[in-house]
Amino acid sequence: MSATVSSAGAMVLASARREHLAARRARRLFLLTTRLGIVVVVLVAWELASGTLLRPFYISSPSAVAQTLAEWAANGELWYHGQFTVTAAFFGYLLGAVSGVLVAWPLAMVRLAYRVVEPYFLVAYSVPAVAMGPVFILWFGIGMTPKILIAAYFVFFIVFINTAAGFRQVRQELLDVTKVMGASGRDQLRTVLLPSATPFILAALRITLPAAMIGAVTGEFISSNRGLGFLTRDAASSFSTSGVIAGVLSLSAIVLLMNLLLRPLRRALRWQEEIDVPPTTGGR
């Protein structure tokens, strides 16, 4: 009798699981279809409005933008300039994120030290990152280094502030208890501090992806002879609206791809509660 009941319960659970998976697939299909539908509607409306309701000089058209992208891809400009922008954004993102975590960790652990230096970080963070572009270019020239540093500057403070918040939310009593139980500083970091700060760090890493790209492109806009920022600026100087939009779309596609590359990390840590960080303001 008990075996029959157990078998029936297993069948019910299996049926419920199949229904849940089917509903989940249906939701994903609905989201994908809706998103693609919105893109198609916008592109069709844009194409129809160009040359009829609005002058193509101001908004261009999807067909003209696609033609420009195809030309850039065919003559190699897209790949040539794209590699420099991606390199500067990637290394700037990596440098800003790693340094933000490494600086926040010891300062957040020594509460008095953090309170001493906190005003200086807030003052530095209040300076618009775009304004630091000419400074870095003056110091390091117009090569790859200033672009990387500008991108890192965009990323560093967001990662630092959120990482420090994640570390500081751990109650000192909990750290004292683990220390009494024989946990070393490394054990505390691995079992208490990092799990507590991980949602904050992941949130900062997610929202700073576009910031790293903005930093790299800012350096290219200010002074550069290569990169997608330079390509977009060159199109603007020749009044090519399709070229400007093509450059912006290329940068957006790179940010989207970089965001997709973070998905495996977020899935590996999906047991962590997700934290939402509000967008930054003040010209950053």
CATH number at 155 reads 1.10.3720.10
In a domain, 279, yes or no: no
Instruction: Round to whole Å and give the CA distance between 119 and 109.
Output: 17
Q: Is the pLDDT of residue 29 over 70?
A: yes
- Predicted local confidence at residue 265, as pLDDT: 60
Do 25 and 70 lie in one domain? The reply is: no
Residues 184 and 249 in one domain: yes
Same domain, 174 and 91: yes
> 189: how many CB neighbours lie within 10 A of its CB?
16
CA–CA separation, 214 vs 283, rounded Å?
11
| Average pLDDT along the chain | 81
Average pLDDT of the residues in 145-168 = 88
pLDDT band at 40 (very low <50, low <70, confident <90, very high): very high
In a domain, 234, yes or no: yes
User: What is the model's pLDDT at position 283?
Assistant: 46
State the CB neighbour count (10 A cutoff) for residue 241. Answer: 20
pTM equals 0.76
Domain residue limits at 178: 60-268
**Residue 72: closest CA among 223, 237, 232, 180:** 232
Residue 283 maps to a domain:
no
277 in a domain, yes or no? no
Residue 44's pLDDT band (boundaries 50, 70, 90)?
Answer: very high
Q: How many domains, in total, are found in the chain?
A: 2
Residue 257, pLDDT above cutoff 50: yes
CB-count burial class (<10 Å; 0-12, 13-18, 19+) for 216: buried
- pLDDT for 99 equals 93
42 part of a folded domain: yes
Q: Give yes or no: residues 157 and 260 share one domain.
A: yes
Q: Which of 103, 131, 284 is nearest to 201 (CA)?
A: 103
Domain-embedded: residue 284: no
Dist. CA 65–CA 159, nearest whole Å? 35
Residues 21 and 120 both lie in one domain: no
pLDDT of residue 45: 92
pLDDT for 3: 55
Q: Are 169 and 134 within one domain?
A: yes
Q: Which of 66-80, 114-128, 261-275 has the highest mean pLDDT?
A: 66-80
> Do 164 and 261 lie in a common domain?
yes
Q: Is residue 282 over pLDDT 60?
A: no
Mean per-residue pLDDT, 151-168: 88
Q: Do residues 87 and 186 both lie within one domain?
A: yes
